[in-house]
């Protein structure tokens, strides 16, 4: 089956009424076929997204210091209790400038031992170099993370929650230690948010001018608590790492090539933005 990135092959899921994931609801994997679970020692550890038949995109803090033999990718299933399909990992790529203290450059790639076949329940997500918030609509984050802050374990069924993108300047006044490699999303009225167990998963949106394609703008990274008023969740800004992704996948022998979607050559953009900031004010709690 041939399919381009960011497309739902089937959209016939039924919207459930059960409320989960801090203001969210149950999700159908057919609506988010790029979503995967990263298992560590047989249990859900973090989320991730299908970038191509060979590559999974996730957060560095999810896999740093992990044994590659303990990791498995669960795909094509929204219920982790079922007899799920598993895939072994062949290579871990953590960003060389990942900062564990403030979670800057919190991005990683997993190379699979064998390629995935695209189906109704597993398909790649698109990436974009477009960064202006006003260009985007209908943003969602998905995962198997906890659904209220009193829970001790993650949930077995995939959840989704709709969020609003937050301007960087506004978010930097609300959240400490924000760098230009991060973006923010939340819902100040409802408290919708990602939480523990959702780390590494995708924040996806549609362009206002093209509502048939989905793009991953962020990777669930960290936050100040979960669903707190005026405390948006913080995500790795994927558009800052398109060159890094191209370079690392090519070096590994399974190249992924981003197709520019903004009308100009993204290869002319600096890979990341560097800013000076104090590192001794706050800690940055991880969602993993």
Q: How far apart are the C-alpha atoms of 91 and 115, rounded to whole Å? A: 13
Q: How far apart are the C-alpha atoms of 111 and 202, rounded to whole Å? A: 17
Annotated catalytic residue within 37, 49, 52, 199:
199
Active site residue 61: yes
Is residue 98 within 8 Å of residue 64, measured between CB atoms?
yes
Q: How far apart are the C-alpha atoms of 234 and 222, rounded to whole Å? A: 5
Annotated catalytic residue within 28, 31, 104, 106:
106
Tell me which residue of 45, 47, 15 sits closest to 30, measured CA to CA.
15
Q: How far apart are the C-alpha atoms of 34 and 93, rounded to whole Å? A: 19
Q: Note the residue count of the chain.
A: 288
What six digits make up the tokens of 240? 């800052």
Tokens 């990777």 found at: 219
Annotated catalytic residue within 44, 45, 61, 258:
61
Active site residue 106: yes
What six digits make up the tokens of 130? 């477009």
Active site residue 199: yes
How far is the CA of 203 from the CAs of 1, 186, 219, 233, 247, in angstroms?
A: 26, 11, 6, 11, 23
H-only helix segments in 54-167: 60-63
Return the active site residues. Answer: 61, 106, 199
């Amino acid at each position: 089956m041939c399919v381009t990135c960011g497309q739902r092959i089937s959209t016939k899921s039924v919207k459930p009424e059960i409320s989960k994931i801090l203001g969210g609801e149950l999700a159908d994997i057919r609506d988010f076929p790029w979503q995967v679970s990263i298992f560590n020692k047989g249990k859900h550890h973090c989320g991730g997204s299908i970038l191509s038949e060979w590559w999974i995109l996730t957060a560095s803090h999810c896999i740093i210091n992990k044994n590659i033999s303990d990791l498995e990718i669960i795909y094509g299933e929204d219920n982790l209790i079922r007899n799920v399909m598993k895939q072994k990992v062949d290579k871990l790529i953590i960003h060389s400038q990942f900062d564990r203290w403030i979670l800057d450059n919190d991005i990683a790639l997993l190379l699979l031992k064998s390629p995935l076949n695209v189906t109704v329940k597993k398909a790649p997500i698109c990436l974009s170099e477009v960064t202006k918030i006003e260009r985007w609509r209908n943003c969602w984050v998905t995962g198997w993370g906890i659904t209220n802050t009193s829970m001790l374990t993650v949930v077995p069924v995939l959840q989704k929650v709709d969020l609003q993108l937050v301007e960087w300047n506004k978010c930097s006044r609300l959240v400490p230690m924000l760098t230009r490699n991060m973006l923010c999303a939340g819902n100040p009225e409802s408290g919708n948010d990602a939480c523990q167990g959702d780390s590494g998963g995708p924040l996806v949106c549609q362009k206002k001018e093209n509502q048939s394609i989905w793009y991953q703008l962020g990777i669930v990274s960290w936050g100040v608590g979960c669903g707190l008023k005026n405390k948006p969740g913080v995500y790795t800004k994927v558009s800052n790492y398109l060159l890094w992704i191209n370079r690392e996948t090519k070096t590994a022998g399974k190249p992924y090539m981003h197709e520019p979607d903004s009308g100009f050559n993204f290869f002319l953009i600096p890979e990341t933005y560097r800013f000076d900031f104090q590192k001794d004010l706050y800690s940055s709690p991880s969602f993993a």
